[in-house]
Amino acid sequence: MTCTQFTIRCCLCGSTLFALIILGCAAEKPSEEPVAIAANSGSGLRLLVVDDPQMATAIEALRAEWEARTGSELTITQAAVSEAIGGQGPPTADAIVYPSRLLGTLIESQSITSLPADYATNRELAWSDTFELLQIAETTWAREPHAVPFGSPVLTLYARSDLLEAARKELPRDWHAYHELAALLGRRENLHAEAPPASSPWQGSLQPLAEGWAGRVLLARAAPYVKHRDHFSALFDIETMEPLIAGEGFVRALEELVADYKLGTPDQIEMDPAAVREAFLAGQSALAIAWPAHTDEPAPPSHVATVFAELPGADVVFNFADRSWERRQDQESPHVTTLGLGGRLGSVTAKASHPQQALQLLAWLSGREWGVRVSSASRATTLYRRSQMRTPLPWVDAGTDATAAAAYASSVQAALSRQQYLTVPRIPGEAEYMTALDDATRQVLRQEKTPTEALAEAAVTWREITDRLGRDRQKAAYRASLEFER
């Protein structure tokens, strides 16, 4: 068993909190041999797949294999998010695969249950093989595991490796360096022989700022500015549930986001990660923020030399308790991972007739034998196991060479293996909170408001959402989402 213990000083009460994180309770190296699956003595299992037709199709292709091994029928149905969380009571299924941001909503509505105490010993699940943040953060609630991971992508930096080499520049460490590099490489006269034709679109930076994405990009950019080592929370005050999104760290991140937006096409305000990725791979930008598509579609006709890296970080962080900027300590990484931007989880439902068999199904689908096939079929996942580092190609864009794919896998592993992280709201009302932040970001992009004005109004909206849903209830859910015990 591998255990990590660290201390955190609570900024609100001044006490020192001790956290014991168990990373990979199964000490043995995962076996590469397929694991025998116990037969289900009941009438079969029902699996509900939410908002992911590609993954549902991949699972359907394995249905006969499951039934042959277990002698038990498997029924697979699909639903939209509104159907999965808007009904009366738990979903009528034994297991459910769903967007990771819905974890808290499903728990608070008592739609899913925690995993059994011996979940980490399940050989097929191979828990110790999964990346740390998926074990201790994204799949847990109030320190209890509630889900099996199918992969959760993080926004990633795409960069033109040939242009970096020609300009003798390195990948940017922080957002200031990102802006300077984008400005430099965005000017054709600085590219010399590597410059694209004058008739081709060209810009230094592209970001996915379409509706539903601008707020997520802002959170990812703000994370290193607002996640202080001594603070559990960066979105709400954990004692009062007052929003923190109008603070100086968020304002700075939004100001820098807008400055980088101006280095690219105004069409970014209508671009999602797929559109940004497509433009970059078509040779229209030096830098881009997106994540790989991992589809079977043909590679772009003119593939560009690509290097992947984590998003830039920051050497300074805003301490909201002291209302002051601080330099990060020398041993601290400048990077802070943002979780919950995408991803899929699997859980046993509260109505499961056969909960042990339902967990075994999820373990089988996400495990070493079939996990790659199931996960990579989705547009909302990425690799999630150390063993998958050897074969990352199923999760990258068609035409990506092995060297670039390995760099991408390394960036994902680094992002999902650190202590400092920020999770998007995953409490009831999460869609409303994110819509308000998204609207504020896009209002600034359209020059309708300043960053300070827009974020202050978004904070008011967040406060109204919290009050309408019940401040005490939301506080309890938020603290559980941050791994406080109930």
3-state SS, one letter per residue, for 30-77? CCCCCCCCCCCCCCCEEEEEECCHHHHHHHHHCHHHHHHHHCCCEEEE
- Edge-to-edge strand list for the sheet holding 203-206: 203-206, 285-290, 156-160, 306-310
Among 212, 226, 219, smallest CA distance to 257 is for 219
Q: The tokens of 169 are what?
A: 């520049």
β 421-423/337-339 pair status: parallel
Determine the straight-line distance between the first and last CA of the chain, rounded to whole angstroms.
Answer: 26
How is the chain split into domains, by residue range? 2-31+43-149+344-377, 156-339+423-470
| Residue 38 pLDDT class (50, 70, 90 cuts) | low
DSSP code for 229: T
127, 290, 321, 134: which is closest to 216 by C-alpha? 290
β-bridge partners, 4? 21
- The 10s digit of each residue's pLDDT in 341-382 is 999 999 999 999 999 999 999 999 999 999 999 999 999 999
Q: Do domains 2-31+43-149+344-377 and 156-339+423-470 have the same CATH topology?
A: yes
Task: Reply yes or no on domain 156-339+423-470 having CATH 3.40.720.10.
Answer: no
* Choice between 299 and 9, residue whose per-residue pLDDT is larger: 299
Task: Report CA-CA distances (Å) from 43 to 70, 88, 97, 105, 358.
Answer: 12, 24, 21, 29, 12
* Mean pLDDT, residues 458-481: 97
DSSP assigned state of 304: P
Rounded CA-CA distance 472/241 in Å is 9
**Averaged over 257-269, what is the pLDDT?**
97
What CATH architecture is 2-31+43-149+344-377? Answer: 3-Layer(aba) Sandwich (3.40)
pLDDT attached to residue 419 = 86
Instruction: For residue 343, give the nearest of 237, 423, 228 by alpha carbon.
Output: 423
C-alpha neighbours within 13 Å on the C-beta side of residue 333:
14
Q: What is the pTM of this model?
A: 0.90
Q: How far apart are CA 114 and CA 128, in angstroms?
A: 18
d(CA 115, CA 127): 12
Identify the DSSP state of 168: T
**CB-count exposure of residue 265 (10 Å: 0-12, 13-18, 19+):** middle
**Residue that wins the pLDDT comparison between 416 and 30:** 416
Rg of the chain over all Cα atoms, to the nearest angstrom: 22
**C-alpha to C-alpha distances, 151 to 32, 55, 259, 384, 387, nearest whole angstrom:** 20, 12, 32, 5, 13
Q: Please name the residues in contact with 466: beta carbons below 8 A apart, sequence gap of 6 or more.
A: 236, 241, 243, 429, 474
Lowest mean pLDDT among 183-187, 324-328, 398-402: 398-402
What is the amino acid identity at position 20?
L
pLDDT band at residue 298 using 50, 70 and 90 as cut-offs: low
21: confidence class by pLDDT, cuts 50, 70, 90: very low
Residues 6 or more apart whose Cβ sits within 8 Å of residue 109: 85, 90, 428
Which region, left, alpha or beta, applies to residue 365 given φ > 0 means left and ψ of -120 to 50 means alpha? alpha
Question: What is the reported pLDDT for 364?
Answer: 97
pLDDT, averaged across the chain:
89
Whole-angstrom distance, CA of residue 207 vs CA of residue 209: 6
Provide the sign of the torsion angle of the four alpha carbons 123, 125, 127, 131, taken in this order: positive
Percentage of the chain modeled with pLDDT above 90? 80
Amino acid sitting at position 205: S
Q: What is the DSSP string of 274-292?
A: HHHHHHHHTT-EEEEEE--
Whether 185 and 263 have beta carbons less than 8 Å apart is answered as no
Query: Three-state SS for 348?
Result: strand
One-letter amino acid for residue 52 of the chain: D
